[in-house]
Amino acid sequence: MGRVTSRHASTGDREADGHGALVTSVLCATWACDVSGVTVLGGVKALITSTMTLFHIHSAYYLVTLYSFRNLCGNCQ
């Protein structure tokens, strides 16, 4: 199946592939996430990342913060 693409990838619009999975165009290379594809449009690289990958990254940050506070305050009773 073909890929249905909205306007321009550099605007940060969402794209949907033939299987219904949503991907987001990310222009910033500082994101710590798995890259599922790279598109070059007019010399600008756009990183295509899945929304599940971003969800897992935010979940990991939450757990690290939670355990850090628990370990810091573990002896405070």
DSSP letter for 42, please.
T
19-30 pLDDT per residue, tens: 433 344 433 344
Residue 71 has pLDDT above 50, yes or no: yes
Answering whether pTM is above 0.75, one says no
Complete edge-to-edge strand list for the sheet that includes strand 4-5:
4-5, 14-16, 22-26, 44-50, 37-41
30-51 pLDDT per residue, tens: 444 444 555 555 555 555 566 6
**Residues in CB range of 4: below 8 A, 6 or more apart:** 15, 16, 17, 18
